[in-house]
Amino acid sequence: MIVIINYGMGNLRSVEKAVELCGGSPVVSNKVEDLKKADKIVLPGVGAFGEGMKNLGELSLLETLREEVLIKKKPFLGICLGMQCAVIEYARNVCGLEDAHSYEFYADLKHPVIHLMADQEGVANMGGSMRLGAYKAKLDRDSNSYKAYGADEIFERHRHRYEFNNTYRYLFADKPFMLAGVSPDGRLVEIIEISDHPWFVGVQFHPELKSRPTKAHPLFRNFIAAAVEYNLKKNDKLTAAKPEYETIKGIQRD
């Protein structure tokens, strides 16, 4: 089961449609029990901005996500704020920064691992000042993203004004956390991955906007493929464990 987490974002239907174009039948939910039943999880970006993080906090979904995705190794795709949430959780629970958060939601932070882009500082009239439209990114050849795209450079559509805070790059340097895609000048983090996870990808852009009925987006396509592989391995483990369990119960097999 594919679960798309519903926490009040504006582009929910676009993400849902992108998954459907890959042959998936997603369940849109904000229930913890659905996350626990899921085999793969999508954490989309938002159109409601601050309300999205507030809703996530009230729903206590981030803690469940950590258990289901990082510990159980379920395939994960984080989009825009979804990527930023992944950075926040990793900073808190792997890097030890308990108060890590995003400057978008809390201005008085000791560790704003997500912060305003430099050219957004002091902008009072927000309007169309966000990073909008298609931008180029360079991919790490050892990443799952590179395997999906099959290219060193990509163009993807953006809609945001908050970014991975480069001040904290050092903190992640000796961890499995990978900066899988960056802007051509290396200044902006576009894609994050966890290298010791089968498929954990977070992107700052919106891949759902480029999925088409006859051409699924590479990230959604490979996300679904990773989910299929996860299910096959899970079923193999269940099958292998069944004879042992029945022997313990004293049941004789033919």
Name the catalytic one among 22, 80, 85, 95.
80
What phi, psi does 162 have (nearest 5°)?
A: -115, 145
85 is catalytic: no
Provide the strand spans (E) within 88-173.
Answer: 101-102, 112-116, 131-139, 153-160, 162-164
Buried b / exposed e over 47-82, threshold 16 CB at 10 Å, is bebeebbebbeebebbebbbebbbeebbbbbbbbbb
Q: How many CB atoms lie within 10 A of CB 122?
A: 6
Name the catalytic one among 16, 68, 89, 208.
208
68 is catalytic: no
Name the catalytic one among 111, 115, 158, 206.
206
DSSP class of 173? T
208 is catalytic: yes
**Tokens 């906090």 found at:** 57
Which residues have C-beta within 8 Å of that of residue 68, sequence separation ≥ 6?
A: 35, 36, 38, 41, 74
Q: How far, in Å, CA of 110 to CA of 102, rounded?
A: 10
Which residues are catalytic, by number? 80, 206, 208
